[in-house]
Chain A
Amino acid sequence: MADMSGASTPAGATDMLDGADGVRRRDWIHIAALSTAGVGGASLLFPLVSQMAPSADVLAQSTSEVDVSAIEPGQAIKTTFRKQPLFVRRLTPKEIEEANAVDVGSLRDPQTLAERTLVGSENLLVTMGVCTHLGCVPLGAAAGEDRGDFGGYFCPCHGSHYDTAGRIRKGPAPKNLSVPEYAFKTDTVIRIG
């Protein structure tokens, strides 16, 4: 009543004062209350942010199995992994030769064909069908499609050319077509993811 601002202690309430330095006992309550409210409010952000992340059913789709036994050399199939296109190509000996003939040091994203395939099945190239530029689906997996200047894949959106090992050779894309983690589940079936 004596002081309407509430910013300072009424003059009569000397019991509120801890010392002459102006630190009041009530300051502790202010700090404790506001900190608790602050931490509580901030922790609420966690579920609100987290709910936008992939839900359990989306994460449950994160492995795919593909039977690769029917793919003939020179042929590729398009399938999906995590709702994105996946290219599985059986390379011909000529394509392997072309891929190995390239000077790795001259590549934008230096990788050998061996580094992009599994030991023992170097003729099986498994890559995402997602251009590393801005995410279009490159052509070249289906028969008759434009396979670009290097005989691999060609992205028509902005003209990125990939070679027979799926490596970026020309155009704006920064990286080779990404190779997902995969392994042979049986002799004929690979499991991706």
Chain B
Amino acid sequence: MSFAWAKQYEPKSAFTKWIDEKLPFPRLVYNAVGAGYPVPRNLNYMWNFGVLAGFCLMIQIITGVVLAMHYAANATVAFGTVEHIMRNVNYGWMLRYAHANGASFFFIVIYLHIFRGFFYSSYKAPREMIWLLGVVIFLLMMATAFMGYVLPWGQMSFWGAQVITGLFGAIPLVGEPLQIWLLGGFAPDNAALNRFFSLHFLLPFVIAGVVILHIWALHIPGSSNPTGVEVKSESDTVPFHPYYTSKDGFGLGVFLILFTAMVFFLPNALGHPDNYIEANPLSTPALIVPEWYFYPFYAILRAFTGDLTIPFTGIVLIPAKLLGVIGMFGSILVWFILPWLDKSPVRSGHYRPLFRKFFWFGLVPTMAALFYLGGTHAEEPYIMLSQFFTAYYFLHFLVILPIISQIEVPKPLPFSITEGVLGKAATTEAPRAGTVDGGDAGTLPDGSLQPAE
């Protein structure tokens, strides 16, 4: 599960020895996030976000369990119990704001985590499974966040539930019965609210389970790194503790400063005022949009305005409504095949000049634009812009990336992580405690230049 030079856990006291024989949990922790897990020495701050995401999940579970002690999932009182939490419960306002902003920060952290994955091609072999599990976690997060947003039973909650379950209504034949089944009625009401509460409570623990698989899968090949060159010798790694516990600890401090600043000074900046109006099934808010973290996918959903028809016959193959749903889900599902779309053997964007151009001037502005467009009114020029950027989004993954990986001439990679960090001269001078010393290293094949498969 780890490199040969990983330090072994050695219980010192009689008690820890006893524990180690009966249930080697301290050993597990030691090997997972302790000194027994060697990590590439050159990780930059983009590698903080995995730990931060785990921390966000903990914030959400702790504050969520507490909020559930005061909340009632009943359509007649739900809105009132949220106000009760805000006004009556001791520190209820703080816990609820921490939970609501915690969701936003969870997504900020996750998007930066995914951004890291895109730029450094963390999805490539041998780490495909980590990536696939990550996409599963992201989908579960989206479902959880959506259902959580319904619980306050405000106007945005209600109409969010109406619109999102309406997506399933687009599916041919079974769509409408499916939507009614999902809601337990013809419109969002008590039945829907109750099941959303139940599932909103359950799913975070399912996420925690998949996170464990995600970390398990990570620990088999070990972390990637900014050069994309695989670890070759002990000089390429440092123990997770104390090197990355302290680096992650610093990142955590910065995260907490930003998080608490939002919770205490701008608690509603990322929310919608309409959700402080109780749900009214007879009146839709003027601008109905999801929370900001769903904007890109909402923009893609709204980009499909015309039916797919056979030209000149007027036969509708796929109606616009279904196209939008396919587009929205497809925009995330395409990530599942990403490891097989980008076949370049070079991982890091630093050594891929052509990829880097399309990344910074193609994908990044596209995502930024979709983030913006998802929050706008459904009118021109926003619809046209959404269509343009949606088209580029799919083009990037399905066409541009495969072509780049075929035609690109990557820059020369450093022989090893140590060489990448310290330069060629330092590689041989650096003292080595491992079995592979600087002299022998030059004769070893560079595994990172092998094809990703």
Contacts and interface: CB of A to CB of B under 8 A. Distances in A.
A145 B234 CA distance: 85
A70 interface: no
A143 B128 CA distance: 78
Nearest to B238: A4
Interface in A1-60: 1-2, 4-7, 33, 37, 40, 46-48, 50-53, 55-58
Interface residues of B, number: 29
Interface of A: 1-2, 4-7, 33, 37, 40, 46-48, 50-53, 55-58
Contact of A50 (B91, B239, B241, B431): B91
A6 B244 CA distance: 11
Contacts of A50: 90-91
A12 to B, nearest CB: 10
A36 B243 CA distance: 19
Interface in B244-278: 246, 249, 256
B91 A4 contact: no
Nearest to B240: A6
Given A50-B91, A51-B90, A1 B431 contact: yes
A175 to B, nearest CB: 30
Contacts of A52: 69
Contacts of B246: 33
Contacts of B224: none
B35 A1 contact: no
B55 to A, nearest CB: 12
Contacts of B235: 1
24 contacts: A1-B430, A1-B431, A4-B7, A4-B234, A4-B238, A5-B7, A6-B35, A6-B238, A6-B239, A6-B242, A33-B246, A33-B249, A46-B91, A47-B90, A47-B91, A48-B62, A50-B90, A51-B95, A55-B84, A55-B89, A56-B90, A57-B84, A57-B88, A58-B88
Nearest to A50: B90
A48 B70 CA distance: 13
Interface of B: 7, 35, 41, 62, 66, 69-70, 84, 87-92, 94-95, 234-235, 238-239, 241-243, 246, 249, 256, 430-431, 433
Contacts of A47: 90-91, 94-95
A146 to B, nearest CB: 39
Q: Which 6 A-B pairs have the closest CB atoms?
A: A47-B91, A55-B88, A56-B88, A57-B88, A50-B90, A6-B242
A5 B35 contact: yes
A6 B91 contact: no
Contacts of B84: 55, 57
Nearest to B426: A1
Nearest to B250: A33
B125 to A, nearest CB: 28
A1 B236 CA distance: 9
A51 B66 contact: yes
B431 A2 contact: yes
A46 B7 CA distance: 39
Contacts of B94: 47
B239 A5 contact: yes
Contacts of B238: 4, 6
B249 A55 contact: no
Nearest to B260: A40
Given A2-B431, A47-B90, 7 more contacts: A5-B239, A6-B238, A7-B242, A40-B256, A50-B91, A51-B66, A56-B88
B34 to A, nearest CB: 11
Max chain A CB contacts within 10 Å: which of B41, B87, B89, B239?
A: B89
A55 B92 contact: yes
